[in-house]
Amino acid sequence: MRNFTLLIIGLILVLTGCQPEETEPTDVIPVPNQQVSSDLGEQEKEEWVAYTANPDSFYQTYGWLSDSEILIAEIEEGNYILRSYNFKNGEKKDIFKESMMVINTKIHSSKEFIALHISESPASAIIKIIKPDGTLVEEVKVESSELYIDWNDEDASLMMITAFYEDWSFDTFVFDMNTKNLTLFESSDPFVKWLNGDTLLSLQWSEHALSGGQIVKIHWRTGESELTDLSNVVFFDAYRGNLLAVHPKEDEKEMIYKIVGSNGEIVTEWSAPALSNYSQWFIPEVQWLVDGSMITLLPVNQGLIDETAPEFQYVKVQNGAVEVFEEKVAEAAFNCSPDGSLCLSGYESDHIIQFDPFKVWKWLEV
C-alpha cells in the first residue's frame, strides 16, 4: 500500500523507545583554541598531494574509504567512473565504471561496501552494491527513480529503501542481501532510520513543524509498530544502538541534545542555542565515528538564520563529555574520516579540516 504525506524535507529525527530519565545537560568543554590556517604546515604539504581535476569531467566527492582515501566520481566518454584518491601519496585507482546515469553513491559506515543509485528509466532505478575493489556484490531493482536509503550500520546486508512516486506517495522497504528479499512495511514518515537489525524508527509529526513529533518504533519483520513516549523531537539520528535526539526547551531559546544508549540510559546530554528560519528549526548534521563518538557543529548564538550569518563551533562528543575543537566557523557540510581526525568540508568537499591542531587544506582543485 502506498502512503501519502506532506513531506517536510530537512527535518529528520531518531530516538529510542524508552523514556529516559531527566538529567542536567553536560557542560560544553572548550579545548585550547588553535590558530586557524588556510593551509597545513610545510611538513604536511610535502607529504600530502592535492588532486587536480578536469572541470569538464569532475562529478562529485562522496566521502572516505579509509583515513587517507577519498571516493570521487568523474564522467569520461559518457561513462561514470568511480575512483579512489589517496591524498597522502597521490595514488588514484579506478573502482567501477557505469554507463547508465548514477544519481547518488553511498558508502557503508564499515567502508566495506558502496551502493550506487542508478537511474534505469524515469520510472525505475537499480541499486548496485559493490566492494571498494569494484566487485559487484548485489543489485536490486526498484520501481521508482527517486529513492531515500538508510543503510544499517551494524549489518551491511540490511538496507532501508523509500521509493517516491510522481503523485507524492511512497512505499518503504527493507532489502536483505542475504535472502534477496525486498520486504514492504508501513510508515507514515518516508525518512526512516535503523535502531537495530529488527527495529526501525520514524517520526509522527505534530500539526506544526516547530513542535516536532513523536518517535515510532517499527518492527519491520512482523509489520508491527508502536508509539514511544518520546515527543517534541525536531531532529534525530542513530548509530549502532546509540540514538541522538534533539528537542527545544520550553522557551525555545535552546536545544537539548541527548544521546541515549541501547538500554534507554542517557549517555550524554547537553544544550546549545536554538536557530530557526521561521518555519523550521535548523540543526546541523552530525557525523558518527567508528568508536561511537560523534562530531557536529553547534551554534554559538541563538537567533534566525535568515537575519544573520550565524557562527558555529566544531565539537566532539565522547565518553560523556562535549569538547570544542574550534569556535566561530561558518556552517558547512562536512564528512569525517573513520578515526575522526580529518573531515571533508566545503560546497564540493574540496577542503580537508584537521582538528589537532585546527587547520584547513584545499585538497581538490577543479
Cell of 150: 538508510
The residue whose grid cell reads 510522481 is 166
Q: Quick one: pLDDT at residue 42?
A: 45
Confidence of residue 17 (pLDDT cuts 50, 70, 90): very low
pLDDT single digits (tens) 123-164:
999 999 999 999 999 999 999 989 999 999 999 999 999 999
Q: Quick one: pLDDT at residue 260?
A: 87
Between CA 9 and CA 203 the distance in angstroms is 13
> Distance from first CA to last CA of the chain, Å, rounded?
45
Between CA 277 and CA 304 the distance in angstroms is 5
Q: Quick one: pLDDT at residue 26?
A: 58
Contact assessment for residue 242 and residue 267, using Cβ atoms and an 8 Å cutoff? yes
Cell of 21: 530519565
Between CA 74 and CA 81 the distance in angstroms is 5
Which H/E stretch holds residue 43?
Answer: helix 42-47
Which H/E stretch holds residue 318?
Answer: strand 312-318
Q: Quick one: pLDDT at residue 62?
A: 98
pLDDT single digits (tens) 275-299:
998 889 999 999 999 999 999 999 9
Between CA 312 and CA 282 the distance in angstroms is 12
pLDDT single digits (tens) 183-230:
999 999 999 999 989 999 999 988 888 889 988 999 999 999 998 887
Segment 98-123 mean pLDDT: 96
Polymer length of the chain? 366
- Is the pLDDT assigned to residue 7 strictly greater than 50? no
